Structures are given as structure tokens and as C-alpha cells.
Structure 1
Amino acid sequence: MNKTTMKVLISLTMTVAMAFIMLFPSNETTASANSSKYDSIYNVANSKLGTRYVYGSTGPSSFDCSGFVRYIFKHGANKHLPRTAQSQYNTTKKISKKQLKKGDLVFIGASTKSIYHVGMYIGNGEMIDAQNRGVVKESIHAPWWHVVGYTRAI
């Protein structure tokens, strides 16, 4: 094989390798990007702790639960979610409790067809959500909650 052919083959191989890396990033790269998005969303959510609850409100000075989740994802990750908790559940990727990670959504209701509350999981069995006490951090295992599902929005 002459030098020109060898250079072309090496160049072609490098181009294919780079395209493959761009199309299929490693889990580390994806995990890092998701962690960064979570941090951004969490920072927006955390900045709203104590903000008052108003049914139907979408922020920034008051929220209901789905308005809060919609706001923090829009401002923290430029991710647009539907307006209601039920619609947010219906349009995001369903996951199991075992797959639950920081940044995932926790849905409360009578069933998956009757969801009335949503919060964002922040780790250690806790979520941040907007409810009658305003925006708070609390256990997802509180006796007044009936968790019916989990989803991943990012």
C-alpha cells in the first residue's frame, strides 16, 4: 500500500471513529450531562424554597405542584413539560422505583389514571414540591402521599 492510500485510510478511519463517538456518547459523558442538568434544575428549585402555594399558579412568585415542576425544568434545563401533573406523567418516560435517580419525577394520586400531585426527587427518599405549605423538601414516603409512579423527564 502506498503512502497516499494509507493516509486516506487513516483519515477515513478517524472520521468514522469521531462520528461514532458523537452519535453514541459514553455513559460517562451522558451521566455527566444529566448530572449537570440535575444540578441546574435543583438550583432553580432550591431557590424557590418557601415560595407560597397558589392553585393554578406557574410562578415565579407562587406555584402549584405541576406549575412548579414545569417552571424548574424550563428554567433549569430548557425542558418544556405540560401544565398538569397527569399530563406530565403521561408524556414522560416511566421508570421503576428501583431506577429512581435525582431529578426524576414522583407522582401522587389514587392511580396512574388519577394523579393529583407531582414533585422532583432529590435523593435520600425526598422530593422538592409545591403544596399547601409552599415549596418544601419532604419525604416521598409521608403518610399522606400515595406514590403511583415515577418518570424521567431528562
Structure 2
Amino acid sequence: MRGCCRGHFDSILPPSGPSAAPVQRTTSSRPTLSNPIIVVKPQPAAPLVKKTASSRAVNNYTSALVAGRTAYSASVSDMIYQGIMARWGIPYRYGSTGPNTYDCSGFVWSVFNDAGINFTRVSARSLWAQSEPVYGDDRFKFGTLVFLNGLGHMGIVADENGFFHASSSKGITYSPFKGYWENRIVGFRRLPVEATSTADIH
């Protein structure tokens, strides 16, 4: 009986023999980097909208309108402004009144005419003679006319900082008074009442 049981258990025991060598756990060392790690600081993302002359013009007009610094009523001032923006960037051409090119007086005449302020298209010098002078803070109300370069150039005042005009190099644009134009200003004028019968004047 004992032999039977022994034979039975012997059949399920692992065969005798030399014991297997114990498994040795080795710790692998991390590879050595030949080049140093350089942490690059991320650069700030570029702004989605760049500040341009056009965006500055929008801000100037909006500020003037909110503050009531306009030569005409809000509705007429808005038509003048929309007329300027509709012509933004159109090239300069001497003697032209649009729609594909403008000179300085042609630009002013076209914008004012579309806003319901009607007058005969003349040169900057002639329009100076037909207009009424303004002084003090009235000079910088949006819609006032500014005359420059010995009455050889003119534009539309945005505010105390600059004006809209037909530039020979940039076309219809906005320029600051300070700098190039600062010493070229002859004066500021406004169209007489009879020339603006369809527009409200402040």
C-alpha cells in the first residue's frame, strides 16, 4: 500500500536532477545622453489682428463720435465715415474723382457728395476760398477740412491726432498730424451752410 501511494506521488513530482540556477535580477542602467537637454521657452503667439492704419482710424472715429466731436450730425458723420472706409486704399491719381482713383480734392468731394453735402468739385485752393475758417477745438472735430502744403493738399479731420486723405504713395489712408505733416498745415475750414443744405451741422 505504501509502495502504491509512493509510486502515485512520484509520478507527479518533478524529476530529480541538478537544481536550476537562481535567476539573478540585474538593474539596467539608463543610457547616457551624449547631447545635453535644452529647454526652449515657447514664444508668445502673434496677435490675431494687427493694428493697422485702418483699425486706428476706426478707433479715432468711434472716440470722436462718442464724445460728440463731429462737425455734423451723427447720421451725416456716419455717412462720411462709411464713404472714407469704402474708398480705403484706392490709389491716388492727380485730377481724379473716382471711383478707381482719387486725388485729394476729388476724394473729399466724392465722400461729402455721397453723404449729402453738395458742392462743386474744385481744387483744394479754391475750396479753401469758399470755406469758412474754424478755430480752437472745432478744428479737430471729425468732418472738418484740413488744408496743407501751401493749399496744394487737403483732407478730412479724424480728430486732434490725424486726418484722412488721398496720399500720392498710399492712396486713401489715415495720417497723423505729428511728424511729416505737422509743419505743413495751413489751416482748418468748414463748408458754408448753403453748401450743406441736405446735411445737419453741429
> What TM-score, normalized by structure 2, do the two folds share?
0.55
Aligned to 1:152: 190
Aligned mates of 1:148, 1:33 — CA distance in 2: 22
Aligned to 1:40: 79
C-alpha displacement of 1:140: 2.3
Aligned mates of 1:34, 1:135 — CA distance in 2: 24
Q: What is the identity, as a one-letter code, of the residue corresponding to 1:122?
A: A
Aligned to 1:8: none
Query: Are 2:177 and 1:140 aligned?
Result: yes
Superposed structure 1 runs of 4+ greater than 6 Å apart: none
Query: Are 2:165 and 1:126 aligned?
Result: no
Counting helix residues as a fraction of each chain, which structure ranks higher? Answer: 1
> What TM-score, normalized by structure 1, do the two folds share?
0.70
Aligned mates of 2:179, 2:121 — CA distance in 1: 26
Count of equivalent residues:
120
Aligned to 1:105: 145
> RMSD over aligned Cα, in angstroms?
2.0
Structure 2 runs not aligned, ≥5 long:
1-69, 197-202
Counting strand residues as a fraction of each chain, which structure ranks higher? Answer: 1
C-alpha displacement of 1:46: 1.2
Map 1:1-154 onto structure 2 (within 5 A): 34-100=73-139, 101-110=141-150, 115-132=151-168, 133-144=170-181, 146-153=184-191
Deviations 1:34-70 (A, max 9, x none): 2221111111111101000001111111000000001
Aligned mates of 2:103, 2:77 — CA distance in 1: 21
Distance of aligned partners of 1:106 and 1:81 in 2 relative to their CA distance in 1, 3 Å threshold: farther
Aligned mates of 1:81, 1:151 — CA distance in 2: 16
Aligned to 2:200: none
Deviations 1:107-137 (A, max 9, x none): 0023xxxx10000011241111001110001
Distance of aligned partners of 1:118 and 1:97 in 2 relative to their CA distance in 1, 3 Å threshold: farther
Aligned mates of 2:77, 2:97 — CA distance in 1: 20
Moved more, 118-127 or 99-108: 118-127
Question: What is the percent sequence identity of the aligned residues?
Answer: 28
Q: What is the identity, as a one-letter code, of the residue corresponding to 1:94?
A: P
